[in-house]
């Protein structure tokens, strides 16, 4: 819980962001309903572009509010050559819910709107769930191993959802966003996994393997992002209370390896092993990068 002295500040910040969200969601929902009712491809494409523009405006105002109220300095290193009209796969480490507004601030209008793969339950979040649906965020069902053993017919459902999302994303420029660890870093999770990395959890290669297999031929680059909080992992309340003074965002733009394009991650065991080794090398380089950034230095981009 924040100190009593910061509660009014936090409440004021959240109120302004809620107001901004509500004002942007009114036209967002209206255009999404029209798009749903009109099956004409050209009209739907135009509406998708208009909806994405509203999403970018929403993010821009939120970012401006956070910058003015929190005073956080976001230092972005690298990322040259990115463009708003491209197709990208964005990979990032995950430490806090603050990662999301940081990524949005760093990339809004530099590349297409970031689309995150979300748990299907999040569609029921008031206002935001419908907004994510309107913005074509893919919703994924996650099944436990025990449930899959009882109901084997559920196997592959997440793969089908990924392929449907990727097919839709072939129509318009997109930035597919993936937190490769699958969950936020905590010391407890790190110890439970016996992670071989100092600052990261083990990467999960399956999701990005499926994306590269489904639309790797369209992707212009892989955008490898590393977020570092020099003063420790913050909460959203810390951000709104002005306690997050600086965030470092390192961006390494890499070409898509030709061997990954169109590969069958699910069924090609040899490829799956090679791809997992590539992801592990990417994560080892990211672990070293975090150590360098935490020590106050800068690092050069380097492919695994």
Mean pLDDT of 136-149: 69
d(CA 142, CA 135): 21
For position 13, what pLDDT does the model report? 92
**Is it the case that residue 229 has pLDDT exceeding 80?**
yes
Look at strands 114-116 and 175-179 and give their pairing. Answer: parallel
pLDDT class of 123 with cuts at 50, 70, 90: confident
Separation CA 88–CA 177 (nearest Å): 8
CATH 3.40.1130 fits 73-294, yes or no: yes
First vs last C-alpha separation in the chain: 41
Count Cβ atoms within 10 A of the Cβ of residue 66 and give its class: 0-12 exposed, 13-18 middle, 19 or more buried: buried
What is the structure's pLDDT at 304? 42
Nearest-angstrom CA–CA distance, 169 and 175? 9
Out of 10-14, 86-90, 169-173, 239-243, which region has the weakest mean confidence (pLDDT)? 169-173
pLDDT confidence of residue 274? 93
| Range in 10-24, 50-64, 159-173, 177-191 with the lowest mean pLDDT | 159-173
Looking at per-residue confidence, does 214 or 285 come out higher?
285
Tell me the average pLDDT across 150-158.
64
Q: Are strands 175-179 and 139-140 parallel, antiparallel or unpaired?
A: unpaired
**Confidence class for position 302, pLDDT limits 50, 70, 90:** very low
Q: What is the pTM of this model?
A: 0.89
CA 43, CA 46: separation in Å to the nearest integer? Answer: 5
State percent of the chain over pLDDT 90. 62
Q: Is residue 42 predicted with pLDDT exceeding 70?
A: yes
Cβ atoms of 218 and 170 closer than 8 Å: yes
How far apart are the C-alpha atoms of 209 and 84, rounded to whole Å?
24
200-213: per-residue pLDDT in tens? Answer: 999 998 888 888 88
Give the span between the Cα atoms of 163 and 155, in whole angstroms: 14
**Whether pLDDT at 301 is above 60:** no
**Of residues 101 and 118, which shows the higher confidence score?**
101
Handedness of CA 249, 254, 259, 260 (dihedral sign): positive
Say what the pLDDT of residue 159 is.
Answer: 66
**How far apart are alpha carbons 279 and 265 in whole angstroms?**
13
Q: Is the pLDDT confidence value at 246 over 90? A: yes
User: Which band of pLDDT confidence, cut at 50, 70 and 90, is reported for residue 265?
Assistant: confident
Cβ 17 vs Cβ 68: under 8 Å: no
Is pLDDT above 60 for 4?
Answer: no
- Cβ-contact 180, 203 below 8 angstroms: yes
Radius of gyration of the chain measured on its C-alpha atoms: 20
Mean pLDDT of the chain, nearest integer: 88
Among 118, 216, 217, smallest CA distance to 158 is for 118
CB neighbours of 234 closer than 8 A, spacing ≥ 6? 96, 98, 243, 244
pLDDT band at 167 (very low <50, low <70, confident <90, very high): confident
In this structure, is the dihedral angle defined by the CA atoms of residues 201, 202, 207 and 210, taken in order, positive or negative?
A: positive
Is residue 213 within 8 Å of residue 263, measured between CB atoms? yes
């Amino acid at each position: 819980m924040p100190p009593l002295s910061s509660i009014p500040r936090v409440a004021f910040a959240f109120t302004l962001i809620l107001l901004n969200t509500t004002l942007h969601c009114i036209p967002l929902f209206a255009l999404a309903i029209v798009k749903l009712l009109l099956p004409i491809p050209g009209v739907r494409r135009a509406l998708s572009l208009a909806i994405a523009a509203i999403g970018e405006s929403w993010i821009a105002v939120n970012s401006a509010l956070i910058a003015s109220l929190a005073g956080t300095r976001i230092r972005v290193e690298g990322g040259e050559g990115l463009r708003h009209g491209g197709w990208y796969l964005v990979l990032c480490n995950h430490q806090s819910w603050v990662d999301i507004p940081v990524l949005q601030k760093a990339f809004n209008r530099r590349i297409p709107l970031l689309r995150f793969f979300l748990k299907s339950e999040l569609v029921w979040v008031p206002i935001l769930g419908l907004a994510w649906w309107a913005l074509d965020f893919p919703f994924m069902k996650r099944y436990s191993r025990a449930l899959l053993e009882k109901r084997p017919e559920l196997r592959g459902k997440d793969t089908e959802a990924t392929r449907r999302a990727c097919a839709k994303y072939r129509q318009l420029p997109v930035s597919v966003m993936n937190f490769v660890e699958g969950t936020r870093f905590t010391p407890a999770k790190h110890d439970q996994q016996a992670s071989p990395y100092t600052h990261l959890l083990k990467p999960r290669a399956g999701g990005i393997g499926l994306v590269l297999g489904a639309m790797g031929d369209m992707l212009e680059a892989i955008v490898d992002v590393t977020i570092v909080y020099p003063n420790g992992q913050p909460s959203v309340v810390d951000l709104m209370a002005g306690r997050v003074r600086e965030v470092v965002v390192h961006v390494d733009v890499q070409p898509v390896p030709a061997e990954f394009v169109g590969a069958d991650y699910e069924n090609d065991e040899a490829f799956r092993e090679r791809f997992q080794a590539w992801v592990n090398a990417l994560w080892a380089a990211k672990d070293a990068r975090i150590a360098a950034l935490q020590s106050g230095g800068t690092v050069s981009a380097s492919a695994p």
